[in-house]
A and B are shown apart, each in its own frame.
Chain A
Amino acid sequence: MSDPVPSPADPGLQHLEGKPFEAIVAWLKSALRGHESLPKVVPDESPVDPILRRERSLSRITRDDLREACLTLVRRFVRSPAEENDNDYVGWLLRLAKGFNLDQIVADLHGLATRAEAFYALPARQQQAILFTLLDLKAPLPGAFWQGVTTANPRLGVIAVSALLRDDCDAAMEVVTMLPGDEAVADALYVGLNQHARKLSPPDLQSMVALVKQVAPDCAPEIRAVLEEWLTVHMRQEATHVASSPNYDALKAALAHYSGKPFVPKPQSARLIDSLAAA
């Protein structure tokens, strides 16, 4: 039986101040494996968010060390990916790198993802984590890369669709036709298309609707079903956008009556600007 050990200070990140770089690397690795106490909002939170929340309170030099430590660990993983079998660790490491906005890792991860023999030998969760990081860092990768991912594993094509939608809707739709008839893929596609559509201006949305209509017949039945569902929703919304609203018209008339002059709204959205221009 040994003497009790005094407890360390609270599980923030202040204890990293003044530590040598290698000690920070070792701590970060241990933290991302879930072995260090961190101030979590809920007990099942990953280590990533507590680190990202608390690192802002550190000195500039320690924050830089923490980022450099993260980059070091990503590069160690990329050098010998087969040696790492802790999927949570890989996912959290890459998530932290994304949180730190370490876009230097794009070249490393892209390099790994194009080494087909090494990449497709990794557990599915690690493959997904790598592709998600490239996607979330908005890495400007060639369309051929994402098409290659889809050819190698058609299920992962739905990640490729999300990436391609940003710059090349035609290429994205080409990948949609390659997606397998799988409910999970179809659901993710629906959610992804919906999220993307919300960011589009009405003319861009119209183009997207036209493209989706065009490719739907060439898709697997499950994919076709969600595309048709998506089209129904968006064509209905389009119709609502162009139709005149009775409430809006009544409000305009009432304001005109009250002020003695026609009501002219000051539009702030593309949709209103377009509808006014059309009127």
Chain B
Amino acid sequence: MLLPALSSLGHAKSALIQSQLAAWNAGASDCYRQIAENIANETALSVAAFATLLDNFVNELALRPAEPEKCWEDACHANQWQGHSLSPPSPERLGRAIPINTYAEFVSKADGLMSPDECGDFLRWAGMAGTVLAPSERRLLQKSLIGRFVIWATFYASSTTDCPFIHMPRTTEAVRTALGLGQCSETETLILLSYHRGTLALYRPTVAEAAGYHWYRPRADPAATYGMSFPLTPNPSGLPSQPEVVHPETTGATLVFPVYLVT
């Protein structure tokens, strides 16, 4: 998709983008080398949407030529939700893995009445096997955000009503490998959230949602309705890649209990 999008922008803009991508390809940053590759391989955007994203990028570059990474990220933020839309109801059940401290911050901010450390302690207990939450404890999680800005979620493709984590070993190692969470260490404590889709709009992710996050990999098939994660290596158990969708931020109103803690 990149070449037709570049062609539609005209020679000068196209040349600038190509030279910036070449600079990233030759640069010291693994992160932006991968992002340049992702841009070249993106198939989920229409030519028009890709051209708009790239045009925004050029306009940002004209304003801040010394900060191409920030220009790219700002252009991305202005061009989200352009991937294929998944019409409801399927997948009905979604899931996301989230570092415990990040989720504790969301829970703390929900009403602003419990500190992040208190929420972290609560989540460590709530995520233990066999914990049954009282109504007050459930409400706290139901009104908290489960993510901010763009939420990356997975689902179980073979049975989209199942919890997406049910067929995955409950360890950080397995979850980070299968979901391709490259910056997640094996010692990170994660919370696995599973929730009903409800009325959420779901989209196939694109480079625009990934912005400066370089663990995204575009799927080669332009007709695919959702993305796929890129499992980390090594992957001794041969964990398969997992479906990926993105959706706007939402609360845990449709959370399915229990939540799981993995270490």
Chain A residues near B (Cβ < 8 Å): 1-11, 35, 37, 39-46, 48-50, 53, 91, 95, 98, 124-125, 128, 131-132, 135-136, 155-156, 158-159, 162, 183-188, 190-192, 194-195, 198, 226, 229, 233
Contact = CB atoms under 8 A, between A and B. Distances in A.
Contacts, number: 160
Contact of B70 (A35, A41, A124, A132): A35
Interface residues of B, number: 67
A261 to B, nearest CB: 34
Contacts of B114: 158-159, 162, 188, 191-192
B183 A40 contact: yes
A41 B184 contact: yes
Contact of A5 (B65, B184, B211, B213): B65
13 contacts: A5-B23, A8-B27, A10-B30, A41-B99, A41-B184, A44-B148, A48-B101, A53-B185, A136-B117, A187-B140, A191-B118, A191-B122, A195-B122
Given A8-B28, A195-B121, A42 B181 contact: yes
B222 interface: no
Interface in B78-120: 96-99, 101-102, 105, 108-109, 111-118
Nearest to B115: A132
Best-buried of B26, B122, B134, B147 by chain A (most CB within 10 Å): B134
B181 A44 contact: no
Contact of A49 (B102, B113, B151, B152): B102
Contact of A46 (B66, B102, B147): B102
Determine chain B's interface SS by DSSP, over half rule. helix
Contacts of B31: 7, 10-11, 37
Given A1-B62, A45-B102, A192-B118, 5 more contacts: A1-B16, A7-B27, A42-B102, A46-B102, A226-B136
B28 A5 contact: no
A64 B258 CA distance: 41
A39 B181 CA distance: 11
A42 B152 CA distance: 9
Best-buried of B116, B137, B181, B213 by chain A (most CB within 10 Å): B116
B253 interface: no
